[in-house]
Amino acid sequence: MADNNSTECDGNCSSCASAAGCSDPKKTAAGIQQKVDINVKHVILVLSGKGGVGKSTVSTNLAMALSSKGYATGIADMDIHGPNIPKMLGIEDEKLTSMDGKKISPVKITGNLSVVSMAFLLPDKTSPVIWRGPMKNTAIKQFLEETDWGELDFLVVDLPPGTGDEALAVAQLAPNIAGAVIVTTPQEVAILDSSKSVKFVEKIGLKVLGIVENMSGFTCPHCGEIVDLFGRGGGEKAAEELNVPYLGSIPLDKEMREAGDSGKPFIVKRDGTEQNKITWQHVDDVMEEVLKQIKE
């Protein structure tokens, strides 16, 4: 692989920051897998440095927003141990099938939105996945390469927290990665972990599309006062310090939580209340910023 100061490949793939995005056949000899062959224009990775920050909520609403704009969109739920996307889309009881015995048929949500998830393969909702890295990597490759995605404009990849096996495997295997969206909450411990995610994405040679600050302020339903339960502005400050785009904030909203629990993504819900309008606009603005960063 080429180092940061040269276009020449020295063959040392394991230490090369650009290995994830490189197509040089020497990667195979170095133990790094080649990109899989799927027909997708843009792959968007959604990461977080720690759990519980709303990464799957952002992934779900982003995919729904893209599909509602007419884009053929897929969601690859790569959180092997904690797959939540089916719950958030109200499709927990679905199972993956195969039409031809070769390709996996993703679960269709709408005419232009489809999903694959480990949750569709479990015998019940409480079954744990007790796998080591190699088995997870095999499943990730199958979800990408052996799924009949058709022609996609966007594939949103919901990754587990951290910078481990799943994130590395997807970065190495997925073609046409537009970049990564980093999700954080405002408090300092979350910002510290999200900063590691930014550095990880940059280290493997991918673009950071930007940081989303989730759970940013809570509006009291009784008096209308905004209460910063987790602080405020940490995501924007981190983006500035790390020199990456700030995609915006999403308020801490009870209806956002209820939407995820009920399987109806918030981005498609408008009930006319003032708080709903405010939160909906924040969510929509974040999704528009993601699209803007991909087009730049």
54 labeled binding residue: yes
56 labeled binding residue: yes
Structure confidence at residue 186 (pLDDT): 87
Structure confidence at residue 93 (pLDDT): 92
Q: What is the pLDDT along the chain (296 residues), one digit of tens a residue?
A: 444 433 456 655 544 555 555 656 555 544 567 899 999 999 999 999 888 888 999 999 999 999 999 999 999 999 999 999 999 999 999 999 887 778 999 999 989 999 999 999 999 889 999 999 899 999 999 999 999 999 999 999 999 998 889 999 999 999 999 999 999 988 887 788 888 999 999 999 999 999 999 888 777 777 777 777 777 788 888 899 999 999 998 888 888 888 888 898 888 877 667 777 888 888 899 999 999 999 87
Residue at 13: amino acid letter:
C
Classify the C-alpha dihedral 65-149-174-170 as positive or negative. Answer: positive
CA pair distance 200, 202, nearest whole angstrom: 5
> Would you say 267 and 287 are in contact if contact means Cβ atoms under 8 Å apart?
yes
52 labeled binding residue: yes
55 labeled binding residue: yes
Structure confidence at residue 221 (pLDDT): 72
CA pair distance 64, 69, nearest whole angstrom: 9
Classify the C-alpha dihedral 248-252-253-256 as positive or negative. Answer: positive
Structure confidence at residue 27 (pLDDT): 54
Inter-CA distances, 261 with 54, 257, 280, Å: 12, 6, 17
Structure confidence at residue 6 (pLDDT): 39
CA pair distance 84, 68, nearest whole angstrom: 21
Separation of first and last alpha carbons in the chain? 26
49 labeled binding residue: yes
- For the record, the structure tokens of 165 come out as 């096996």
If you ran DSSP here, which 8-state letter would residue 230 be given?
T
- For the record, the structure tokens of 19 come out as 């290995």
State the greatest distance between any 2 C-alpha atoms of the chain, in Å, as a whole number: 64
Domain range summary for the chain, segments of one domain joined by + = 1-34, 35-295
CA pair distance 252, 230, nearest whole angstrom: 9
Nearest to 290, CA basis, from 256, 263, 267:
267
Residue at 45: amino acid letter:
L
Structure confidence at residue 9 (pLDDT): 61
CA pair distance 82, 48, nearest whole angstrom: 14
CATH of range 35-295; options 3.40.640.10, 3.40.50.300, 3.40.190.10, 3.30.70.920: 3.40.50.300
Nearest to 245, CA basis, from 212, 217, 215, 218:
212
- For the record, the structure tokens of 269 come out as 């819900």
